[in-house]
Amino acid sequence: MPPASRRALEKAEIVTGAARHLDLLPEVAAKARPWPVPFADGIDALLQLRGRDVVMLASGDPFWFGAGSVLARHLKRGEWRALPAPSSLSLAAAALGWPLEQTPCFGLHAAPFSRLRPALHPGARLLATVRDGAAVARLAHWLEAQGFGESGLYVLEALGGPRQRIRLIPADGPIPTNIAHPVIVGIEVAGQGAVVPLASGRPDTLFDHDGQITKRPIRAMTLSTLAPCPGEHLWDIGGGSGSIAIEWLLAHPSTTACAFEINPARAARIEENAHSLGVDRLEVLEGDALTRIGDPDLPDAVFIGGGISGALLAELWDMLPEGVRVVANAVTLEGESLLTEWQGMKGGELMRIELATAQPLGRKRGWKASYPVVQWSVVT
């Protein structure tokens, strides 16, 4: 134990942490209080101890997929001090010989496995914390369902302690039932599963939809016009399948988005698409956008892909601050007329997008045109 940690324990009135952490303690005068499960249940009890010397035990580095950032949100700066040790993910990288700066790391002990989805491609090496041994089996089954059952799983148990053990098992093979906690999984990805491309305009087949989807070429042009930047927030009005909002979120891990959808079945489908593609942070608001657009935080960009009306545009212009990027697509004559009118009033760029694909025509081929899309882009 580092000297600073030992001194903190010697001064402490109370020491708290998971039962397994408390079991490893040397003899101390402090009163031991096991931290409850789920984790959130212990925060109020901890806050009631303000003003007393309290030590909380956590694995490794509490600010690397640990409890530190959660607790820091509830405490003032100066009320706490962190004494980090090598994180479990650092220990895992060292054990496997994987360069940590080149290895994507995921905290999946309290998050869906689908967070891995954008990072899955043959040859990738990933590290993930998981809840327990049973979660290792669920992760293996999930990888197999994604088409990556050929992946190798390094199961790293109780790293850095006397119970440390490392085993390599195939994701599509039998999973041991005697996996000790805490556990990290190193994944060497292999298989024939679909890879999520990096560029906007991902294949339509990645999205479950009922035909109400911004098709791939138009979506690529729309995302280019929306121009997502790190930390920005999007409103996707008339979400359909959620493809625009999902691709916005795939652009950078710090982006956020809210999708408005009046159809309950489509709203549910948007959530399913977001979860399956690893961006479960998408907020979906079911109902008429006119009655819901005051609910979420104001956006940096707005996309209108369905349900466009003069009343909606007027409401947006009344509430949006200066500098918000607005992009609206229309395929009907009525929608085109409305966008033409508003472009005349507010400026911006009006673009007509016409696409055609080669299709069989008798024994030969011909061009089959899609409905033209009129796109208006403007900054408020």
pLDDT tens for 216-244 read 999 999 999 999 999 999 999 999 999 99
Structure confidence at residue 272 (pLDDT): 97
Q: How far apart are the first and last CA of the chain?
A: 58
pTM of the model: 0.89
- CA 332, CA 338: separation in Å to the nearest integer? 10
Closest CA to 327 of 283, 271, 380: 380
Q: Which residues pair with 368 in a beta bridge?
A: 357
- For tokens 């935080």, what's the residue? 297
DSSP 66: S
- CA 239, CA 267: separation in Å to the nearest integer? 8
Structure confidence at residue 61 (pLDDT): 86
> For domain 204-379, which architecture applies?
3-Layer(aba) Sandwich (3.40)
Provide CATH code, domain 88-188. 3.30.950.10
Residue ranges matching CATH 3.40.1010.10 in the chain: 3-72
Beta-strand runs (E) in the chain: 14-17, 31-34, 54-56, 105-107, 125-130, 152-157, 165-170, 183-188, 233-237, 256-261, 283-286, 301-304, 325-330, 349-353, 356-361, 364-369, 373-379
Contact 184, 92 (CB under 8 A): yes
Q: What is the pLDDT along the chain (380 residues), one digit of tens a residue?
A: 667 777 888 888 899 988 888 887 888 888 888 998 888 888 998 899 888 898 988 878 888 887 888 889 998 888 898 888 888 899 999 999 999 999 999 999 889 999 999 999 999 999 999 999 999 999 999 999 999 999 999 999 999 888 899 999 999 999 999 998 889 999 999 999 999 999 999 999 999 999 889 999 999 999 999 999 999 999 999 999 999 999 999 999 999 999 999 999 999 999 999 999 999 999 999 998 888 887 778 999 999 998 899 999 999 999 999 999 999 999 999 999 999 999 999 999 999 999 999 999 999 999 999 999 999 999 99
Residue ranges matching CATH 3.30.950.10 in the chain: 88-188
Structure confidence at residue 1 (pLDDT): 63
Write the CA distances from 292 to 6, 73, 235, 249, 287, integer angstroms. Answer: 54, 29, 11, 21, 7
Structure confidence at residue 200 (pLDDT): 94
- The pair of three-digit structure tokens given for residue 362, joined into one six-digit string: 């008798």
Provide CATH code, domain 3-72. 3.40.1010.10
Structure confidence at residue 319 (pLDDT): 93
